[in-house]
């Protein structure tokens, strides 16, 4: 046994066993101390708290701003619809005015400035004719041409021709009245008005 006890293998084995036993004991104690210390340490507050008052305030402001923007957008849409309706109404009114202008232009006899020399010559010719003969010729013409000619004549000459138109046919009285009405609405060219 002495030999066994003095054997280097045994002493190495005993030294190694003692080392590992001590090491295990120290590691387990240190682990217990760390576990005990970890149990006593208070848990840290998380960095991000979902019920943060600053974030809640920002979210509330964003919602308010979004609602204001939505309200403003609706107001702008309403104004745009009103504008569109007014534009349609204005276009309708413009078309109606153009129609009325066209109807008025049909009712009013106008003489262009370049027609004046010819009208004066024709008026002079018809005025020099016998009123009955002139009335028969004028009876075959369009009303606007008759009005232009009568307007170019002196009043007494045009009156005699109108009187002679009454004798041409049975419906001549109505036509003479229409011609008189058109003479009333007759527009001379701007150059002739001066």
- Would you place residue 94 in the very low, low, confident or very high pLDDT band (cuts 50, 70, 90)? very high
Residue 189 has pLDDT above 60, yes or no: no
Residue 194 has pLDDT above 50, yes or no: no
* Distance set, CA 24 to CA 15, 20, 28 (Å): 14, 6, 6
As a whole number of Å, the CA-based R_g of the chain is: 59
Higher pLDDT pick, 110 / 151:
151
d(CA 136, CA 84) in angstroms, rounded, equals: 58
Other C-beta atoms within 10 Å of 187: how many?
13
- Would you place residue 81 in the very low, low, confident or very high pLDDT band (cuts 50, 70, 90)? very high
Of 175, 121, 177, the closest CA to residue 148 belongs to 121
Q: Quick one: average pLDDT of 171-193?
A: 71
pLDDT at 187: 59
- Would you place residue 190 in the very low, low, confident or very high pLDDT band (cuts 50, 70, 90)? very low
Q: Is the pTM of this model over 0.85?
A: no
Of 171, 152, 175, the closest CA to residue 162 belongs to 175
Q: Are 164 and 135 in contact (CB under 8 A)?
A: yes
d(CA 147, CA 36) in angstroms, rounded, equals: 124
pLDDT above 90 covers a percentage of the chain that reads: 23
What is the residue-averaged pLDDT of the chain? 82
pLDDT at 153: 86
Higher pLDDT pick, 24 / 168:
24
Residue 3 structure tokens: 């030999």
Q: So where are the chain's domains?
A: 53-107, 113-193
Q: Are 186 and 153 in contact (CB under 8 A)?
A: no
Of 18, 40, 38, the closest CA to residue 30 belongs to 38
Other C-beta atoms within 10 Å of 81: how many?
10
Of 113, 130, 111, 89, the closest CA to residue 187 belongs to 111
Q: Quick one: average pLDDT of 112-138?
A: 83
For 141-155, what is each residue's pLDDT tens digit?
888 888 888 888 888
- Would you place residue 73 in the very low, low, confident or very high pLDDT band (cuts 50, 70, 90)? very high
pLDDT at 71: 96
């Amino acid at each position: 046994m002495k030999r066994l006890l003095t054997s280097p293998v045994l002493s190495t084995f005993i030294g190694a066993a003692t080392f590992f036993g001590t090491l295990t004991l120290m590691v387990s104690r240190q682990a217990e101390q760390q576990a005990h210390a970890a149990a006593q340490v208070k848990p840290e507050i998380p960095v991000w708290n979902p019920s943060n008052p600053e974030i809640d305030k920002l979210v509330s402001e964003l919602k308010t701003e979004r609602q204001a923007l939505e309200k403003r957008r609706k107001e702008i849409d309403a104004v745009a619809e009103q504008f569109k309706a007014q534009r349609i109404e204005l276009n309708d009114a413009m078309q109606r005015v153009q129609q009325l202008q066209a109807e008025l232009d049909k009712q009013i006899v106008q003489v262009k400035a370049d027609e004046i020399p010819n009208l004066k010559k024709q008026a002079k010719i018809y005025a020099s004719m016998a009123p009955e003969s002139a009335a028969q010729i004028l009876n075959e013409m369009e009303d606007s041409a008759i009005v232009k000619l009568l307007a170019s004549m002196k009043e007494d000459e045009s009156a005699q021709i109108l009187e002679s138109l009454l004798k041409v046919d049975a419906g001549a009285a109505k036509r003479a009245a229409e011609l008189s009405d058109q003479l009333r609405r007759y527009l001379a060219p701007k150059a002739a008005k001066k």
